[in-house]
Amino acid sequence: MTSDIGLAILGCGVVGTGTIELLARRNQTIAARLGRPITVRHVVVRDLAKSRPVLDPSTRVHTDALAAINDPAVSVVVELIGGLSPARSLIEHALRLGKSVVTANKSLLAAHGPALFQLARQHNQVIAFEASCAGGIPIIDALTRGLCANDIRQIVGIINGTCNFILSKMSLENLSYADALKGAQQAGFAEADPTLDVSGRDAAQKLAILSSLAFSQQVSEGDVSCTGIDTLDAREITFARELGYTIKLLATGTRDLATSRLALSVSPTLVRHTDMLADVSGGFNAVSVWGDAVGHTLFYGKGAGSLPTASSVVSDIISVATGQAKLLFDSATVWPDLTARASIMPADAVLQRSYLRLAAVDRPGVLARVTDILGQHGISLGAVLQHEAADETHVPVIITTHLARRGNLLLAIEQIDALDVIGAPTVHLPILDSPGE
């Protein structure tokens, strides 16, 4: 048996611990498949006093990331710190020393992926990042290899487990957003500061990475129109259910067939009860991909957690060790350092069906005034739902529309909200429309 594959694992939190545990559990199987063992030579941590029972006593545990990377016995650096700094400088240092990198850092890749990939290429190395977007779901492999024969038209994902857990609680248990968030924090699905998740930014970062690969265009987080769930009223979930929909935080990327421009968004979205995405609950993730040859595909699994995410990390380590990751990195042209900047469709130009909730005075002729304004902007109605007034002044009126330009919808809403018969600002959410088979 030849020399081993030495690892430096930077970060020993939830994913780092799971990675070490999974490598230990599968060490003999992995060694048999590779023809040589994988050895964790360094584990770099912030707090040496913290107990870590999964670590082998012979493993060097310390706080010096540069010393770990500089070790000549280390050939693969596994970055599980997260964030932009010091993760970026450490990855750059590893690449310049001629060492491959495995990372789960979606924030870093969404912000600086092209530059890091270019640096890896300059030093004849590879960056593998399966764990960055959907936990244990092998969606990166699917987009770069399994679906490479397809011209991909659309990608739609539930790719933030925290938000999906919260929305599932609101939908299934009729909880308010605040109560559902508290439950998510108690269950370990949400951080003490959940802003990155509930604002939609986490999903936007992942969508930027996935869209870059799916559409072979360089996408950044700033290209994604983003609305989170932190302002979602539980009434929307109730009314959507009555209309036959479930609300999910969807990350959606669609390529216009005529212009190749991309429409990229993260938003609470109405999904038909009959759509498989509507059944994705709790901390699970799912990604739908539409290709011209394969049609609709769905990838489903645990989107976070110690061992599910470690599954992707370890698979990347094995892929790097066998040379498969490097071969694909060298031969494929989908990587964002090799593609042109994406052409982004303005959000106002996107065609979508929409859900509206108006607070209208309970008076004859109000709905006619509203529909007249919608008609002036080329927006036709799909359905109307009206409840009895919750108070003696205003009644909720729910409208779904047919396809219309988002910009026209916003102009119509501005005029509607200016009517003397409308109370609170009108709520509007997109409705999912997917390509046919």
- pLDDT the model gives residue 87: 98
Q: Which of 61-75, 184-198, 405-419 has the lowest mean pLDDT?
A: 184-198
Is position 139 within any domain?
Answer: no
Candidate list 206, 248, 302, 326, residue with the active-site label = 206
For residue 409, give the CATH number of its domain.
3.30.70.260
- Identity of residue 198: V
Of 274, 303, 332, the residue that ends a domain is 303
Is position 308 within any domain?
Answer: no
Same domain, 292 and 159: yes
End-to-end CA distance of the chain: 50
Report the chain's C-alpha Rg in angstroms: 24
Q: Residue 229's pLDDT band (boundaries 50, 70, 90)? A: very high
- pLDDT the model gives residue 57: 78
3-class secondary structure, 168 = helix
Same domain, 79 and 153: no
Is position 342 within any domain?
Answer: no
Mean pLDDT taken over the chain: 94
pLDDT at residue 390 is higher than 60 = no
Give the tens place of pLDDT for each residue, 89-111.
999 999 999 999 999 999 999 99
- pLDDT the model gives residue 387: 77
pLDDT at residue 391 is higher than 70 = no
CA neighbours within 13 Å on the CB side: how many for 364? 0
Give the tens place of pLDDT for each residue, 392-405.
678 999 999 999 99
Averaged pLDDT for residues 359-371: 92
Of 132, 158, 176, the residue that ends a domain is 132
Q: Is 248 a catalytic residue?
A: no
- pLDDT the model gives residue 243: 96
Same domain, 14 and 116: yes
Is position 257 within any domain?
Answer: yes
Of 132, 158, 178, the residue that ends a domain is 132
Q: Residue 189's pLDDT band (boundaries 50, 70, 90)? A: confident
Q: What is the value of pTM for the model shown? A: 0.95
For residue 52, give the CATH number of its domain.
3.40.50.720
Contact 340, 218 (CB under 8 A): yes
DSSP annotation string for 13-72: SHHHHHHHHHHHHTHHHHHHHHTS-EEEEEEE-S-TTS--TTS-TTSEEES-HHHHHH-T
Residue 425 DSSP one-character state: P
Tally of structural domains, the chain? 3
- pLDDT the model gives residue 233: 94
H runs (alpha helix) in 147-262? 161-173, 177-186, 195-198, 201-215, 234-242
CA distance 203 to 193: 16
- pLDDT the model gives residue 1: 40
Q: Residue 362's pLDDT band (boundaries 50, 70, 90)? A: confident
Averaged pLDDT for residues 183-211: 94
Same domain, 36 and 59: yes
Give the tens place of pLDDT for each residue, 10-62.
999 999 999 999 999 999 999 998 989 999 999 999 998 887 777 777 789 99
Contact 357, 235 (CB under 8 A): yes
Same domain, 286 and 153: yes
- pLDDT the model gives residue 200: 97
Is position 436 within any domain?
Answer: no
Is position 294 within any domain?
Answer: yes
Same domain, 222 and 358: no
Q: Is 423 exposed, middle or buried (0-12, 13-18, 19+ CB in 10 A)?
A: middle
Same domain, 164 and 113: no
CA distance 319 to 327: 10
- pLDDT the model gives residue 436: 65
Q: Which tokens sit at 340?
A: 């042109």
For residue 160, give the CATH number of its domain.
3.30.360.10
Burial 90-99, CB ≥16 within 10 A → b, else e = bbbbbbeeeb
Q: What percent of the chain has pLDDT over 70?
A: 98
Same domain, 295 and 151: yes
Q: Which domain holds residue 368?
A: 350-431
- pLDDT the model gives residue 155: 98
Same domain, 253 and 359: no
Q: Which tokens sit at 277?
A: 């995405």
Same domain, 93 and 160: no
CA distance 144 to 148: 6
Is position 358 within any domain?
Answer: yes
- pLDDT the model gives residue 393: 78
Report residue 361: phi and psi, to 5°.
Answer: -65, 135
List, in sequence order, every residue forming a beta bridge with 272; answer none if it has no partner: 245
CA distance 172 to 324: 43
Is position 325 within any domain?
Answer: no
Give the tens place of pLDDT for each residue, 159-168.
999 999 999 9
- pLDDT the model gives residue 123: 98
Same domain, 294 and 391: no
- pLDDT the model gives residue 363: 86
Same domain, 127 and 151: no
- pLDDT the model gives residue 197: 96
